[in-house]
Amino acid sequence: MTTKEIVEKLGLKALSKFEHREVDGVFVSDMLSDVMAGAKSGNLWVTVQTHKSIVPAANLVDVAAVIISSGKNVPQDTIDLANQHNIAILSSDLSSFELVGKLYGLGLVSK
């Protein structure tokens, strides 16, 4: 499944400019150190964190996209940095719990 398909199926809002990618699993955490240690390349990263430090963490791990849950407002400096590094920042009004349930329903699991 691709980020484009997931955006369409879940009604996610793209906040940054990026190229769509294949998605291989889901990782959920609000701790950057946890993401850097446990997320895999190609994963979707679900979080409520919005500060610009999420961009280098996403870049380091090579996640397919960062999904900001719970309708959190993402600062412009985070979006600008994501644009510079082709990091997909997506948003959803759903809670992390609801979002992960829907992703699981699409056949995506933690890998």
- CATH number of the domain residue 35 falls in: 3.40.1390.20
Q: Indicate whether 37 pLDDT > 80.
A: yes
Q: Count up the domains in the chain and report the number.
A: 1
What pLDDT is attached to residue 109?
Answer: 85
Tokens of 30: 């609000």
Q: Indicate whether 110 pLDDT > 90.
A: no
> Does some domain include residue 110?
no
Q: Taking all residues of the chain, what is their mean pLDDT, rounded to a whole number?
A: 97
Contacts of 73 (CB under 8 A, 6+ apart): 50
Q: Indicate whether 96 pLDDT > 70.
A: yes
Residue 65 identity = A
Q: Indicate whether 111 pLDDT > 90.
A: no
Domain that holds residue 9: 3-105
> Does some domain include residue 39?
yes
Backbone angles phi, psi at 44, to 5 degrees: -85, 135
> Does some domain include residue 90?
yes
